Amino acid sequence: MAERSAPVGVMDSGVGGLSVLAEIQRRLPNESLLYVADSGHVPYGEKSPDYIRQRLRHIAEFFQQQGAKAMVLACNTATVAAVADLREQYPQWPLVGMEPAVKPAAAATRSGVVGVLATTGTLQSAKFAALLDRFASDVRVITQPCPGLVERIEAGDLISAELRRLLAGYVQPLLQAGCDTLILGCTHYPFLRPLLAELVPADVAIIDTGAAVARQLQRLLGERDLLAEGPAQQTAFWTSSDPDNLRKILPLLWRKSDSVRSFPL
C-alpha cells in the first residue's frame, strides 16, 4: 500500500496542466507533486487516440516507478483517449481525468447558449458527445476548435498581437451567436484568462475544471487514507522536450524551478 507521504503524479501534453497543478497545490498544500510535460509530442489534439494511449502508458509506468500514489491526467485530450485504458491496467490506482465543464456551464447560462473552446481531439470524441447528451439537452452548445493556441502558450506567448488576433477569431463567432458562458476545454486555456477578459464582456462566465479536479483528487486520496500530512517536497518536473524550454516558461506560468529533467523517451 502506498504511503501518505508518496507523491502525486500530474501529466499534460505540455505546460497546460500547470493550471491544474496550481489548483491541486492550492487545495492540497501538503502533497508532494511530480509533473511530466510531454512537450516533445505536443499538441495531443491532432494525434490519434492510439498514439496518445501509448504515450500515457509510458508516463503511467514512469509515475509507478517514482512511487506515485495517484495520477492526474491534466489534459482533456489525454483523458478522452486514455483514461479508460489506464483504469483497466491499474484498477487499484487512483486516477483523475479532465472533462469539459458542460454541466456547470449548462446550469450557469442565462441566454441558453454555451460556447466551448477546445482542441479538435476533445470536440470529436464520443465522451464529449455523451456529456452534451447528458447535461446540455436544454441548451445550445456551440463548439470552437482552436488550432494554434496550445502552440502559442507552449512558446510562452500570452500577450502578443498575433495571439490576440487568433483568440478573437475563435471567440467572436460564439459571442455573436449569443453565448454568455464560455467553457475552457483545454488545460492550456486558463492561462489566457487575462486576454479573454479584454475580448469578452464582463458578464460572460468563463469556466474551467481545474478546481473540480483538485476536489476529486482530495476525495479519492481521503477515501484511501492517503492524504499527506506534510511538509510537501519541492515539485519535480520532467519534459520530453528540451528541459531549457520548460525552465524558461516555468517562471511565467508557475514559478522558477531548478528541478527540471529530461523525461525518458
The C-alpha atoms of residue 83 and residue 125 are separated, in whole angstroms, by 13
Lowest mean pLDDT among 61-65, 135-139, 255-259: 255-259
The reported pLDDT for the residue numbered 21 is: 97
CB 119 within 8 A of CB 146: yes
Q: Indicate the DSSP class of residue 181.
A: E
Q: What pLDDT sits at residue 154?
A: 94
CA dihedral 208, 213, 215, 217 (to 10 degrees): -170
The phi, psi pair for 263, rounded to 5°, reads -80, 130
Q: What is the mean pLDDT of residues 67-85?
A: 96
Q: Mind listing the domains of the chain with CATH numbers? A: 8-98+211-262 (3.40.50.1860), 102-208 (3.40.50.1860)
Question: Does residue 256 surpass a pLDDT of 90?
Answer: no
Please give the positions annotated as active site.
Answer: 75, 186
pLDDT for the residue numbered 1 = 63
- What are the pLDDT digits (tens) for 14-35? 999 999 999 999 999 999 999 9
102-123 pLDDT tens trace:
999 999 999 999 999 998 888 9
Checking if the pLDDT of 195 tops 70, the result is yes
Helix (H, G, I), strand (E, B) or coil at 172: helix
What pLDDT score does 157 carry? Answer: 96
Report the 10 Å Cβ neighbour count for 8.
26
> Average pLDDT of 162-185?
97
